[in-house]
Amino acid sequence: MSARDALLDAYEAILLDDGVRAATLEAVAARAGVSKGGLLYHFPSKDALVAGLVARLEALAAEDRDRMRQAPEGAVRYYIRTSNWSGSSLDRALVATSQLAQESDVAARDVVARIGQEWLELIVEQIGDRAISRAILLIGDGLYYNAALTGGTYNTLTGEQSLEELLEVVDHLVELAGARRAS
Amino acid sequence: MSARDALLDAYEAILLDDGVRAATLEAVAARAGVSKGGLLYHFPSKDALVAGLVARLEALAAEDRDRMRQAPEGAVRYYIRTSNWSGSSLDRALVATSQLAQESDVAARDVVARIGQEWLELIVEQIGDRAISRAILLIGDGLYYNAALTGGTYNTLTGEQSLEELLEVVDHLVELAGARRAS
DNA sequence: GTCTATACGGGGATAGAC
DNA sequence: GTCTATCCCCGTATAGAC
């Protein structure tokens, strides 16, 4: 793994575990096993570090959209399943970046907003009804919110069973959208 | 208004507008129109300021539960309507405290978790089905997440219409819970 | 009850050695 | 490509004046 990636991993990890205040250059460098000077070679400023994280999130989200579009279970089920915390690269990058968005970081705020819009559009394409799509999107947002609160320490939906139950509820919403389309 | 309340208002406002990093003692004091020394008379440390915010949130949430229980429209509709950002005291205190929870502040994390559990219990009492209740809770969480991302700059559900549409979708979930109870 | 002055540590960033 | 040394600013907190 490149040193850059190791540094971004460390930055993410600290943001998730301890929050923005703890995510200092020194802490990030130490966690990645380099010195502050070493970090500043790869990322000449803190803004550069943020930009690196934003770029990583953007790439991961684009890959995820492809998988979501092609998911055999359907985009909606795929979206809900992957919104529950699993510790995936996308989970981590998104929750970490959300924290920066809350610090009024414009780049972070933009990318998080854009990703949400793209998800919404994909769901609308699949099920047709905008109000129901928004409700489904909000359920996923709720899962991310819960992950963010704990830094992804545990799933909101503990165990496979509650996720299955939630998916079943969401299936009903998809059916409802189908019924509305038919009428 | 007491000086204490003015200081807590200022703390909240900075947390919402600019995030935890900007919420320094000096910034809070300035926004409340007192000096740093003045602030430290009322709240002898930053931890005391956090504790003050947590206590305020707890009180507001307790009042809100009473209103939710007695809401003529039902607890679920009340919950969804008030989860959309309106700039209420509870909105502000909850989103501000959520940010502290993400900084691994134990007191903040506990109170936010507890409030969520109480909401869930209230909804379960009213509609019976736990999985559906959890889905409804997550929709509310999603609304809070969106408010938190922007510091409550705007509603996720712009305009009265999209809120009404969402409430309609949620009504279907409540109906579904009723149907499950009947069977 | 609120202010100023001051101490101290930590965070971001630069220069330059290796 | 990574390290140490150093600078300056800012955030927290204490002491004490008014």
**Strand C closer than 7 Å to the CB of A103?**
no
Model pLDDT for residues B64-101, shown as the tens digit of each residue:
999 999 999 999 999 999 999 999 999 999 999 999 99
Tens digit of pLDDT at every position of chain B (183 positions): 899 999 999 999 999 999 999 999 999 999 999 999 999 999 999 999 999 999 999 999 999 999 999 999 999 999 999 999 999 999 999 999 999 999 999 999 999 999 999 999 999 999 999 999 999 999 999 999 999 998 888 777 767 789 999 999 999 999 999 999 998
Q: Nearest residue (Cα to C1') for D11? A: B24
Got the DSSP string for B34-88? S-HHHHHHHSSSHHHHHHHHHHHHHHHHHHHHHHHHH-TT-HHHHHHHHHS----
Q: Are residues B7 and B88 in the same domain?
A: no
Tokens of A69: 């579009």
Q: Give me the CATH number covering residue A5.
A: 1.10.10.60
Are B102 and A131 in contact (CB < 8 Å)? no
Q: What is the 3 state secondary structure string of B95-122?
A: HHHHHHHHCCCHHHHHHHHHHHHHHHHH
Whether residues B27 and B58 fall in one domain: no
What does the alpha-carbon distance between residue B21 and residue A50 come to, in Å, rounded to a whole number? 15
A12 and A40 within one domain: yes
Inter-chain contacts counted by CB atoms under 8 A, chains A and B: 128
- Same domain (yes/no): B80, B134: yes
A113/A170 same-domain check: yes
From residue A5, alpha-carbon distances to A9, A20, A42, A155 in Å are 6, 19, 10, 26
Q: Which of B15, B149, B155, B168 to mutate to test the interface with A (most CBs of A within 10 A)?
A: B149
Q: Is residue B49 part of a domain?
A: no
Whether residues A57 and A116 fall in one domain: yes
- For residue A40, the enclosing domain spans 1-44
> Would B7 be classed as within a structural domain?
yes
- B31 shares its domain with B59: no
Inside any domain, residue B40: yes
Q: How far apart are CA A101 and CA B149, in angstroms?
A: 6
d(CA A36, CA A14): 15
Same domain, B59 and B34: no
Please check whether residue B98 lies inside any domain of the structure.
yes
Domain count, chain A: 2
Q: Judge if B7 and B92 occupy the same domain.
A: no
Specify whether B99 is located in the same domain as B162: yes
Do B62 and B27 fall within a single domain?
no
Both A86 and A172 in one domain: the answer is: yes
Q: pLDDT value at position A161? A: 87
Q: Closest Cα of chain B to A143: distance in Å?
A: 7
Predicted local confidence at residue B65, as pLDDT: 98
Phi, psi dihedrals of residue A158, rounded to the nearest 5°:
-75, 125
Q: In terms of residues, how long is chain B?
A: 183
Residue matched to tokens 């709240």: B43
Q: Give the Cα separation of B43 and B8 in Å (integer).
A: 10
Q: Inspect the interface and report whether the beta carbons of A104 and B151 lie closer than 8 Å.
A: yes
State yes or no: pLDDT of A159 exceeds 80.
no
Answer whether B142 sits within 8 Å of A146, measured CB to CB.
Answer: no
Q: What is the pLDDT of residue A138?
A: 98
Q: Which residue has the tokens 């919403």?
A: A173
